[in-house]
Amino acid sequence: MFESITQNLTDALGNFTRGKLSEGNIRDGMAQVRKALLEADVNYDVAKSFCDNVTKQAVGDQVLKSLKPGEQIVGIVYNELVNLMGPVDHSIAIRRGEMAIIMMCGLQGAGKTTTCGKLATMLKEQGATPMLVAADLQRPAAIEQLRVIGEQVGVPVYWEEAGSSTPVKVCQNAQKAAKKEGCNVLILDTAGRLHIDDSLMKELVQIDNKLMPHQALLVCDAMTGQDAVNSAKAFNEALELDGVILTKLDGDTRGGAALSVKAVTGVPIKYIGVGEQLDKLEPFHPERMAQRILGQ
Amino acid sequence: KSGEILDEAKLEEFHRGLITTDMGVEASEEVVESLREEFGGRTVDPDAVWENVKNTLKEILKGDGSTNWDPENPLSPLNMATEGPTVILVSGVNGVGKTTSIAKLANYLTKSGKKVVLAAGDTFRAAAVDQLTKWSQRIGCEIVRKDPGTDPASVAFAGCDHAVQIGADVVLVDTAGRLQTQQNLMQELEKIRRVINKRIEGAPHESLLVLDATTGQNGISQASKFSDAAGCTGIVLAKLDGTAKGGVVVAIRKKMGIPVKYVGVGEQLDDLQLFSPDDFVEALLEES
Ligand SMILES: Nc1nc2c(ncn2[C@@H]2O[C@H](COP(=O)(O)OP(=O)(O)OP(=O)(O)O)[C@@H](O)[C@H]2O)c(=O)[nH]1
Ligand SMILES: Nc1nc2c(ncn2[C@@H]2O[C@H](COP(=O)(O)OP(=O)(O)OP(=O)(O)O)[C@@H](O)[C@H]2O)c(=O)[nH]1
Ligand SMILES: [K+]
Ligand SMILES: [Mg+2]
Ligand SMILES: [Mg+2]
């Protein structure tokens, strides 16, 4: 496991005799760890404070006396990454007799609409009766997209003509429609928006206030770089997120955004998207993510 | 103006500023290393040092100057066919802004008096064809579309064919989002390119890769693998209106030489700008 980073670390730790690995050696070694994290797109400040913490731990005497300090440090790094990204709560709270409302939000193109379909698929399999809500009145054919997805999953989609309604109205009317149809989960597909777009962020807060969703989930593209912290922070400040879903992890991205987002918001990553098809949603596993970030 | 000593702490600040742009560890360290060599331990004016860094980055992004760039003419960077329709193939990973960028380009082209045909080559994603159709209606240009699930190469072919028939000036070919690691889908993209070339000699004249400005280091792998399949001649850097800087294009330009031609700065038709290395680098290192 972690061959390349272990090798780099061993090189960086240099020549030492047993028991003589110095703080200086460790710091050189941690520079390699930091480089690996930055190459995986972990945010600069997050990577820095992470490495500072690990250095403090690694300077303990066990490491200094260890036969294979490279491996030991990688072990500490791995464990710390896992601790930081976990523990994971995969639940999407649905109480008997109550309608659960899940609101998806995020930047443009992150994968919200697709993920609505994936969640509906998963919840339906678990016996729930979800309804999808087309609250994106902005993107051309966003409503049609959700309707096609609803048909594929086999769940109803609530929608209104984009020209004559507002996202808040759509959501409120959907709630009534869901009651009538006996649906017990409402999944709101909101339009993509920039976290610095004040009026659209206000609109989101308005939906949040009116509908009081049980879960506000941020959908985040796993290929995001240094900026992941900025958008996640802003969405969390506006909505008090309950969870994050990291999409497009089926490619070769190292996915450092996972660490960044968790570190700055404290919000757990619940699920990951691993494909375009509607069954490609998996629970998030911090261990696998830690391995991925370290470039296993 | 009194200077500051360029010590390791100061260099670290520069490093942070560069990494934050997403230009990557390699390129950032190269810049920092050159600063260390040139100014390390000396008293410098930090602003002047930043100017120095900016100039280096601008040079990288300008490349050898072989890309046409006329700020007065938004179409200047496009390679146009000398005769018959120009074909522009647009590709990229999922959700980056391909379809929207096509709409924006089509709008530019239509406004400048060109006859444009869109080919709805994303036959996979739910309502992708509807999305492009809505844009074509707003712009007032033609669109060639087929049923969902149709071989995208056949849509691209039909688009080119139609353009030749009606004497159109430009064909813009939309493609489904795909991750560069999906070999079958990358082969499909190669096939689209081949088929286009069969119908119109020299086509595609322009193969644009759309990158999302929020993308981190994976952008390098995107550029490399999409270039292999689609022979990318330029980049559209979409979503630059956010807080992300899009610095990965610096690393891409250095490694692969693909020039950025346009930037996307919003969701509307007018939100496409000609790429300007100078403006881009100024924004890249703003407040750093
Ligand atoms: N490979 C891959 N593609 C995905 C995944 N999730 C979504 N996509 C694709 O990403 C693209 C954008 O997905 P959408 O669901 O339309 O994204 P969105 O956030 O709703 O976009 P806007 O509504 O425009 O903001 C589509 O091509 C999806 O098929 C995933 O986990 N893996
Ligand atoms: N803020 C902003 N949003 C953009 C920009 N370009 C595109 N978008 C938005 O990003 C989302 C995805 O755009 P699309 O054009 O559908 O992306 P795509 O690459 O065609 O997506 P797929 O076909 O699903 O792979 C939409 O919500 C667009 O409105 C831009 O320059 N700035
Ligand atoms: K920006
Ligand atoms: Mg959507
Ligand atoms: Mg598209």
Does A58 contact B at CB distance below 8 Å?
Answer: no
Does A223 contact B at CB distance below 8 Å?
Answer: yes
Q: What is the pLDDT of residue B271?
A: 98
CA B163 vs. chain centroid, Å, equals: 24
Contacts of B106 in chain A (CB under 8 A): none
**Helix extents (H) in chain A:** 3-13, 23-39, 44-58, 61-65, 69-85, 112-125, 142-153, 167-181, 198-211, 228-239, 257-265, 286-293
- Per the model's pLDDT, the better-predicted residue between A274 and B65 turns out to be A274
Interface of A with B in 165-184 (CB under 8 A): none
> Per-residue pLDDT for A172 more than 60?
yes
**pTM of the model as a whole:** 0.96
End-to-end CA distance of chain B: 20
Q: What is the pLDDT of residue B209?
A: 98
DSSP result, B226-258: HHHHH---EEEEE-TTSS---THHHHHHHHH-P
Any atom of ligand 2 within 6 Å of the Cβ of B268: no
What average pLDDT does this structure show over B52-77?
Answer: 91
Read off the tokens for B240: 């630059």
């710390």: which residue's tokens? Answer: A80
Q: What is the pLDDT of residue A67?
A: 65
The counts of H helices and E strands in chain B are 10, 10
> Per-residue pLDDT for B168 more than 90?
yes
By mean pLDDT, which of A96-100, A112-116, A213-217, B241-245 is the weakest? A96-100
The strand order across the sheet containing A215-221 reads: A157-158, A130-135, A185-190, A100-105, A215-221, A243-247, A269-273, A281-283
Q: What is the pLDDT of residue A5?
A: 67
Bridge partners for A224 per DSSP: B215
Task: Determine the residue among A249, A253, A260, A261 to mutate to test chain B binding: the one whose Cβ has the most chain B Cβ atoms within 10 Å.
Answer: A253
Mean pLDDT of chain B: 96
Q: What is the pLDDT of residue A192?
A: 98
By mean pLDDT, which of A28-37, A76-85, B265-274 is the weakest? A28-37
Q: Is the dihedral of CA B226, B232, B238, B240 positive or negative?
A: positive
Mean pLDDT of chain A: 91
Cα A81 from Cα A54, distance rounded (Å): 10
Kind of pairing between the strands at B43-44 and B4-5? antiparallel
Contact call for residues B9 and B204 (beta carbons, < 8 A)? no
Cα B24 from Cα B60, distance rounded (Å): 14
Q: What is the chain B residue with the closest CA to A138? A: B267
Cα A58 from Cα A35, distance rounded (Å): 17
What average pLDDT does this structure show over A155-169?
Answer: 96
Q: How many residue pairs from chains A and B have C-beta atoms closer than 8 A?
A: 135
Kind of pairing between the strands at A215-221 and A157-158? unpaired
Read off the tokens for B40: 């390390």
Kind of pairing between the strands at B272-274 and B260-264? antiparallel
Q: What is the pLDDT of residue A17?
A: 45
What average pLDDT does this structure show over A152-177?
Answer: 97
Task: Determine the residue among B133, B210, B218, B287 to mutate to test chain A binding: the one whose Cβ has the most chain A Cβ atoms within 10 Å.
Answer: B218
Q: Which of B20, B134, B177 faces A226 most closely, judged by CB atoms?
A: B20
Q: What is the pLDDT of residue A10?
A: 67
By mean pLDDT, which of A63-67, A254-258, B23-27 is the weakest? A63-67
Kind of pairing between the strands at B116-119 and B170-173? parallel
State the distance from the centre of ligand 2 to the C-alpha of B192, rounded, in angstroms.
22
Q: What is the pLDDT of residue A182?
A: 94
By mean pLDDT, which of A4-13, A122-131, B91-100, B182-191 is the weakest? A4-13
Q: Left, alpha or beta for B266 (phi > 0: left; psi -120 to 50: alpha)?
A: left
Confidence grade of residue B2 (pLDDT, cut at 50, 70, 90): low
B14-39 CB burial, b ≥16 within 10 A, e <16:
bbebbbbbbbbbebbbebbeebeeeb
DSSP result, B86-123: EEEEEE-STTSSHHHHHHHHHHHHHHTT--EEEE----
Q: What is the pLDDT of residue A287?
A: 95
H or E stretch at B193: helix B183-199
Percentage with pLDDT > 90 across chain B: 91
> Per-residue pLDDT for B156 more than 80?
yes
pLDDT, one tens digit per residue, over A211-229 is 999 999 999 999 999 999 9
> Is the Cβ pair B218, A254 closer than 8 Å?
yes
Q: What is the pLDDT of residue A25?
A: 75
SS3 A173: helix
What average pLDDT does this structure show over B79-93?
Answer: 97
pLDDT, one tens digit per residue, over A257-292 is 999 999 999 999 999 999 999 999 999 999 999 999
By mean pLDDT, which of A127-141, B57-71, B139-153, B245-259 is the weakest? B57-71
> Per-residue pLDDT for B83 more than 70?
yes
B138-167 CB burial, b ≥16 within 10 A, e <16:
ebebbbbbbeeebebbebbbbbbbbbeeee
Could you report the predicted ipTM of this complex, rounded to two decimals?
A: 0.97
Does A38 contact B at CB distance below 8 Å?
Answer: yes
> Is the Cβ pair B181, A250 closer than 8 Å?
yes
Contact call for residues B262 and B273 (beta carbons, < 8 A)? yes
Cα A102 from Cα A91, distance rounded (Å): 12
Q: Which numbered ligand comes closest to the C-alpha of B237?
A: 2
Q: What is the pLDDT of residue A296?
A: 66
What average pLDDT does this structure show over B79-94?
Answer: 97
pLDDT, one tens digit per residue, over A42-89 is 999 999 999 999 888 877 656 656 667 777 778 888 999 999 999 888
